């Protein structure tokens, strides 16, 4: 699919509705807002702007749906069937949902299509997990005792999702909470809410019980804050920056609700001299320039063995300069637009600061001027040291920082020299090196001779300031449950606290 600017301009601006208590409609204030495509500078959507009143209504609907409604009381087979139906509806509308994400976020159309395929797989996998929630019966409690340990849904879950992967991150959370029997209030980023609100229409088409899923769009400091602090919310699941994650955790402390956080990363790829250097170079370029670097999993740090540093840098520059970037609706494009002007300014500031601190640019470093949209050249910075801001902070742009090492222990020390711990990788032909790195790297996901390969069956999440909890995999459903112990006594009680017999008081 390739649309010209004229075709985009002629495309009707999509008007979306929020979903509260099974009804599609306007925000309580009737206020709306628009979104311009970051790649084309044309308005592509119009959305209801929720505020605290909408958040309260959505939570109330989810509360009633959990306490009195059918969803938590359905059989696992019924919930599984509903999730499978939603998965089929997403698959049938995947091209439309992908286009919405492209126009609102600036990501390449081929990437958006792949993300929708992954999202459908997550919903289908979650449908199978709905029927796999199990408790246990501990043995050995005694002749007269029976103990059951149940997993029960935690209750009302508030979810806040980011702008960089609107539909796939939603799909890492929502179907797993539903599989567990929870009800949900979900707030997408106001920068990319369209595909989430379109999902609301698909949920009504699937006849999801009213109040089970509620979708509203508002600002973080109003709607997000209210959801995080609301006493009728039992759990909050947030994906975004570490800074905002801290504020979510503080707000959630009011009623000690459970908190799941998927936050930032400053992820390293270690490249050893004995690695397949061509494959490693391709993976490094993919890892840092995928989604224009606007990805918590971006491998924005390269740690390369000194003996092959120069030749590896040449490979990187040659590949970086060949990566097609530009109009995200062109199927050939691999690097799309930067989300907004503030993010573009942030990228430029980090690059300029790194150069002033002694880093050496090998390619890139500039925004692309002369046309609509916000685009930044694929950039590789050499001679970076661990104390530079560009090596420590999330740039969230197509910028690679490269460092060198002499021994594996030094490489692991450099990789772990961060307050993040989301993902890390190593490229080597030596089994012992691979096992050592997998053991000692402090991150929630370790890739060996690959990068960003993912499966619905594999849990995803971070250590340290990259977050709390796990998404995907069997563990994802467990995140949305509580353990309940139930004890049964059989037969007559012989160990009475107050003995039988006459009252001995005088």
Pair of tokens at residue 501: 């017999």
Is 134 noted as a catalytic residue in this protein?
no
> What DSSP character marks residue 222?
I
Give which of 390, 389, 348, 388 is closest to 368, Cα–Cα. Answer: 348
Tokens 């702007």 map to which residue? 49
Residue 148: which residues within 8 A CB-CB, separation 6 or more?
135, 136, 137, 485, 486, 487, 488
Q: Which tokens is 111 given? A: 């990437």
Dihedral pair phi/psi, residue 133, rounded to 5° = -80, 125
Active-site option among 272, 296, 309, 478: 296
Measured in whole angstroms, how far is the alpha carbon of residue 62 from the centre of its chain? 22
The token pair at 158 is 């508030």
What are the CB-based long-range contacts (under 8 Å, 24+) for 90-94?
Answer: 90/116, 90/119, 90/120, 90/123, 90/199, 90/202, 91/120, 93/198, 93/202, 94/120
Say if residues 294 and 104 touch (Cβ distance below 8 Å).
Answer: no
The tokens for 385 are 């040291």
| Tokens linked to 138 | 């501990």
Element containing residue 171 per DSSP (H, E) = helix 166-180
Positive or negative torsion for Cα 266, 270, 271, 276: negative
Choose, from 104, 262, 305, 479, the residue flagged as catalytic. Answer: 262
- Report in angstroms the alpha-carbon separations of 505 from 51, 496, 497, 499: 66, 19, 17, 14
CA 37: distance to chain centroid?
Answer: 22
* Beta-carbon count within 10 A of 16 CB: 22
**Whole-number Å distance between alpha carbons of 360 and 326:** 25
CB 239 within 8 A of CB 262: yes
For residue 62, give the H/E element and its range.
helix 52-67
Residue 93 CB partners (closer than 8 Å, separation 6+): 198, 202
Question: Is there a catalytic annotation at residue 68?
Answer: no
The residues carrying an active-site annotation are 262, 296
């Amino acid at each position: 699919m390739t649309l010209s600017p004229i075709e985009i301009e002629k495309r009707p601006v999509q008007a979306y509705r929020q979903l509260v208590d099974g009804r599609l409609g306007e925000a309580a204030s009737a206020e709306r807002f628009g979104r311009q495509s970051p790649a084309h500078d044309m308005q592509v959507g119009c959305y209801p702007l929720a505020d605290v009143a909408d958040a309260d209504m959505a939570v109330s609907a989810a509360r009633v749906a959990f306490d009195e409604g059918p969803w938590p009381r359905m059989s696992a087979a019924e919930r599984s069937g509903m999730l499978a139906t939603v998965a089929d509806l997403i698959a049938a509308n995947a091209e439309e949902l992908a286009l919405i994400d492209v126009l609102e976020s600036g990501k390449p159309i081929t990437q958006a299509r792949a993300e929708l395929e992954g999202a459908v797989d997550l919903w289908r996998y979650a449908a199978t997990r709905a029927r796999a929630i199990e408790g246990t019966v501990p043995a050995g409690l005694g002749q007269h005792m029976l103990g059951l340990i149940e997993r029960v849904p935690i209750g009302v879950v508030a979810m806040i999702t980011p702008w960089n992967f609107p539909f796939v991150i939603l799909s890492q959370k929502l179907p797993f909470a539903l599989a567990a029997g929870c009800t949900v209030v979900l707030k997408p980023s106001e920068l990319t809410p369209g595909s989430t609100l379109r999902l609301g229409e698909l949920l009504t088409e699937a006849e999801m019980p009213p109040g089970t899923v509620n979708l509203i769009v508002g600002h973080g400091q109003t709607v997000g804050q209210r959801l995080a602090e609301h006493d009728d919310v039992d759990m909050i699941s947030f994906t975004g920056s570490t800074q905002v994650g801290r504020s979510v955790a503080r707000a959630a402390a009011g009623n000690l609700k459970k908190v799941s956080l998927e936050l930032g990363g400053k992820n390293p790829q270690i490249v050893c001299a004995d690695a397949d250097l061509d494959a490693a170079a391709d993976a490094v370029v993919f890892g840092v320039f995928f989604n224009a670097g606007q990805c918590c999993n971006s491998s924005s740090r390269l740690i390369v063995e000194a003996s092959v540093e120069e030749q590896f840098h040449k490979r990187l520059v040659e590949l970086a300069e060949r990566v097609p970037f530009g109009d995200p609706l062109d199927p050939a494009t691999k690097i799309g637009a930067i989300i907004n002007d503030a993010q573009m300014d942030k990228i430029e500031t980090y690059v300029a600061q790194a150069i002033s601190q002694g880093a050496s640019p090998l390619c890139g470093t500039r925004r692309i001027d002369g046309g609509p949209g916000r685009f930044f050249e694929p950039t590789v910075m050499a001679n970076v040291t661990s104390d530079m801001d560009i090596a420590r902070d999330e740039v969230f742009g197509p910028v690679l920082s490269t460092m060198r090492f002499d021994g594996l222990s030094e490489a692991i020390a450099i990789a772990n020299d961060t307050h993040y711990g989301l993902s890390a990788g190593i490229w080597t032909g030596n089994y012992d090196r691979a096992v050592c790195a997998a053991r000692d790297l402090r991150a929630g996901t370790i890739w060996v001779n690959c990068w960003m390969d993912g499966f619905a069956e594999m849990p995803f999440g971070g250590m340290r300031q990259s977050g709390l909890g796990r998404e995907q995999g069997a563990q994802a459903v467990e995140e949305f449950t509580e353990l309940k112990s139930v004890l049964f006594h059989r037969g007559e009680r012989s160990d009475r606290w107050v003995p039988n017999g006459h009252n001995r008081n005088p």
